[in-house]
Amino acid sequence: MKISEREFAEAVNSRSKSPIYDKMKAATVGIAGLGGLGSNIAAALVRSGIGRLVLADFDKVELSNINRQAYFLRDIGRRKTEALAEILREINPFCEIVTHDVRVDEKNCLEIFGECPIVCEAFDGAEEKAMLVNTLLSESKTVKIIAGSGMAGFGRANEIVTKKISERLFVCGDGKTDVADGEGLSASRVIICAGHIASKAVEIILA
């Protein structure tokens, strides 16, 4: 179905007393890691009319991702950057999507995300999470980071919260449930955490 951007914008703004589309359209958000958190954060943001996304992941879609990530079975074996960009365009063709098919590290993270006023940390590993937060907060004077920490297992939905650590750092999750402890990861709980991260990003954009 061919939809014009005006129609899409009107639909995003519908039922809202103050329209959000223009502010969302003007915003750029970076997402580091396109797994359970990143793919679901991206889907939420394009549904709200985000104008530009900078996506980074080096990985390919695997069957073991389908339990919680936004991909389809048809995507198995494809690069996450490419598969996710396609899914996002099917939701909102008016979002500009920049992809980096690369492992994010201390050396390249400012180059990849330096243009983003808001970066969502959505890696799987605790050390990668800490690396991104430490590097971007040190090397950029302005970026705001919303990180995810603690969303393994099932249930205890109300333990997942958004915590403000400083003016430039927010951490979403229960802060303790580590996937390394063997509880596994489930769509329901990972999506709650992704929703917290996306919601904080939208809140910052609309503030």
Partner 1 sequence: MAKINGEDFNEVITIGEYLKKKGYTAARVAVMVNGEILSKNEYDCTKIQPDDEVEIVGFVGGG
CB nearer to partner 1: give 30 or 36.
36
| Tokens found for residue 63 | 């069957």
Residue 55 contacts partner 1 per CB under 8 A: no
Q: Strand, helix or coil at 181?
A: helix
Closest CA to 197 of 152, 158, 160: 160
Burial 82-95 (b: 16+ CB within 10 A, else e): ebbbebbeeebebb
8 Å CB contact between 51 and 96? yes
CB nearer to partner 1: give 90 or 167.
167
Exposure on the CB side of residue 105, measured as CA atoms within 13 A? 4
**Looking at 24, 53, 97, 190, which residue binds partner 1 (CB under 8 A)?**
190
What phi, psi does 46 have (nearest 5°)?
-70, -30
Binding residues among 72-91 for partner 1 as defined by CB under 8 A: none
- Per rule CB under 8 A, count of chain residues that contact partner 1: 37
Cβ 73 to partner 1, closest distance in Å?
A: 21
Cβ 20 to partner 1, closest distance in Å?
A: 27
Q: What angle do CA 93, 101, 56 make, to 5 degrees?
A: 65
CA distance 10 to 60: 35
CB nearer to partner 1: give 4 or 158.
158
8 Å CB contact between 184 and 6? no
CB nearer to partner 1: give 9 or 136.
136
Binding residues among 101-160 for partner 1 as defined by CB under 8 A: 122-127, 129-130, 133-134, 137-138, 147-152
Cβ 63 to partner 1, closest distance in Å?
A: 18
**Looking at 22, 96, 178, 203, which residue binds partner 1 (CB under 8 A)?**
178
Where on the chain is the footprint of partner 1 (CB under 8 A)?
Answer: 33, 35-38, 122-127, 129-130, 133-134, 137-138, 147-152, 165-167, 169, 171, 173, 175-180, 185, 190
